[in-house]
Amino acid sequence: MAEQLPKLLVVEDDEGLQAQLKWAYDDFEVVIAGNREAALAALRAEEPAVVTLDLGLPPDPDGTTEGFAVLDAIMALKPDTKVIVASGHGARESALQAIERGAYDFYQKPVDIETLGLIVRRAYNLHAIEEENRRLAARVGDDNRVLGTLITAAPEMAKVARTIERVANTNVSVMLLGASGTGKELLARGLHDASDRKSGAFVAINCAAIPENLLESELFGHEKGAFTGAVKTTEGKIEQANGGTLFLDEVGDIPLPLQVKLLRFLQERSIERIGGRQPIHVDTRIVCATHQDLEAMIAEGRFREDLFYRLAEIVVKIPTLAERPGDATLVAKAFLQRFAREMNPQVKGFAPDALAAIDGWNWPGNVRELENRVKRAVIMAEGKLVSAEDLDLVEKLDEESLALNLKGAREQADRKVIRHALARSEGNISSTAKMLGISRPTLYDLLKQYDLHA
């Protein structure tokens, strides 16, 4: 079987130069496109690692507008593509603009085939190295740990971790938004540990778990004799976090009168204990979290808008476990290792049906539900491998969710992408086929195969 050649997309409207470039690169499978529509169709269909792009394309052959539009589209659709831009129009300005917009390199016309060939081969080699690095980074292990303890291989969660790392050494207030069980406190602690306040205290308080009449004392502290039962002066959580980080979990449950007092602290950075008269300066970083829709609560008058903007200088939205493909099995393996070491050393791993069940379940309770199920399964397991029955997931999964073979996974992915494309093209078959990079007959076959309708 002949070795498959790497693909090179040449976006060029000059037919003579098209033929010359196709002839010159005999160690590549060269695909030619003469305009934006053809270029993007080829990008979708062929997924080339490297693209050479002439900026002077119709309908603007004497300018660069159309060429830059193609570059922007390639970067949006497949940002890891190495795009080499060639142009004779305002070379220096075009070069700088192309690099700023994501191009790998720039080459000024007239084209020297040998020199351009060196640039193309260097770009392909770099792409191959980066692809290998991405593959290695996806392996299970320490590479899947971010912020010290957070385990993920999902780009969605890695993006969250990068955001937290970038803001860690600032003093801005951070609000973590996400469903219950998504790991908001773990991320808050990770932010603290990544900051220059890590030597100070990390103090957490769940505002929903403390009765309203006690929450003020918990946050601000009280002086001796301030109320019945106040037999000694007590520091509140805010004061305890001086020099460190205060994590306010479920901040949406703070009652309105206490919201006013919290806002005053954020403005003045000083507090008064209940029953006290002396202002106490406190230097603490505020991180808060909630699963509630605070903007809706503001509209209903249940949460102060001025407090929201004080707390939400940076907002980080945390994806659910179902929105983090592959993470459930990664996190489950880490939980199993920990609980087996502590509670049942004979357990060594998951049985195949357990891994299928973990990957197929949608985890409405997120990481907290996963942790609880794995902990119970490790305790109850009678053999060396935890089964789907141990996880109590056997009856919860249908046949489709257990399709772990490549054919089944591809069918599920195909259905999802085709439905998205049909929706975006409003059911137009020709537009859908172009968007998917396939022919109309192929699309009709897929629609029939998967029982989908335009």
Residue 204 has pLDDT above 90, yes or no: yes
Exposure on the CB side of residue 393, measured as CA atoms within 13 A: 29
**Run of H or E residues at 271:** strand 270-271
Is the model more confident about 164 or about 414?
164
The predicted-structure confidence for 308-358, as pLDDT tens digits, reads as follows 999 999 999 999 998 887 788 888 988 998 999 999 988 988 887 788 788
Residues pairing with 53 in the sheet: 11, 85
Residue-level pLDDT at 406: 59
Residue-level pLDDT at 142: 45
C-beta separation of 5 from 49 below 8 A: no
The predicted-structure confidence for 92-139, as pLDDT tens digits, reads as follows 788 888 888 888 888 888 878 888 888 898 899 888 877 765 565 444
Residue-level pLDDT at 187: 92
Own/partner pairs for 29-32, CB < 8 Å, 24+ apart? Answer: 29/4, 29/5, 31/7
Residue-level pLDDT at 314: 93
Residue 402 has pLDDT above 50, yes or no: no
| Cα 139 from Cα 18, distance rounded (Å) | 41
The predicted-structure confidence for 167-195, as pLDDT tens digits, reads as follows 998 989 999 999 989 989 999 999 999 99
CATH architecture label of 7-137: 3-Layer(aba) Sandwich (3.40)
Average pLDDT over residues 242-264: 95
Average pLDDT over residues 270-298: 92
The predicted-structure confidence for 28-72, as pLDDT tens digits, reads as follows 899 999 999 999 999 988 889 999 999 889 888 878 889 999 998
Residue 74 CA, chain-centre distance (Å), reads 21
Percent share of the chain, pLDDT over 70: 90
Q: Judging by beta carbons within 10 Å of its beta carbon (0-12, 13-18, 19+), is residue 254 exposed, middle or buried?
A: buried
Amino acid (1-letter code) at residue 404: L
Secondary structure class of 386 (helix, strand, coil)? strand
Amino acid (1-letter code) at residue 60: D
Q: Where residue 258 falls among pLDDT bands split at 50, 70, 90? A: very high
Tell me where in the chain the CATH 3.40.50.300 domain(s) lie. Answer: 146-319
Residue-level pLDDT at 352: 77
Residue 398 has pLDDT above 70, yes or no: no
Is the model more confident about 204 or about 395?
204
Tell me where in the chain the CATH 3.40.50.2300 domain(s) lie. Answer: 7-137
Alpha helix locations (H) across 209-304?
A: 212-220, 237-240, 256-268, 294-299
Residue-level pLDDT at 408: 61
Residue 433 has pLDDT above 60, yes or no: yes
- The chain-wide mean pLDDT, for the chain, equals 85
Tell me where in the chain the CATH 1.10.8.60 domain(s) lie. Answer: 322-402
Q: Are strands 245-249 and 285-290 parallel, antiparallel or unpaired?
A: parallel
- Cβ neighbours for 1, distance < 8 A, ≥ 6 positions apart: none
Residue-level pLDDT at 50: 94
Residue-level pLDDT at 134: 57
Residue-level pLDDT at 148: 61
Average pLDDT over residues 267-278: 90
Residues pairing with 270 in the sheet: 281
User: Domain 146-319 is classified in which CATH homologous superfamily?
Assistant: P-loop containing nucleotide triphosphate hydrolases (3.40.50.300)
| Cα 40 from Cα 192, distance rounded (Å) | 44
Residue-level pLDDT at 431: 83
Average pLDDT over residues 368-382: 93
CA-closest candidate to residue 9, choices 99, 77, 101, 61: 77
- Cβ neighbours for 346, distance < 8 A, ≥ 6 positions apart: 340, 381, 383, 384
CATH topology of domain 406-449: Arc Repressor Mutant, subunit A (1.10.10)
Tell me where in the chain the CATH 1.10.10 domain(s) lie. Answer: 406-449
Q: Is the pTM of this model over 0.85?
A: no
Give the largest Cα separation in the chain, rounded: 93
Percent share of the chain, pLDDT over 90: 41
CATH architecture label of 322-402: Orthogonal Bundle (1.10)
Q: Where residue 250 falls among pLDDT bands split at 50, 70, 90? A: very high
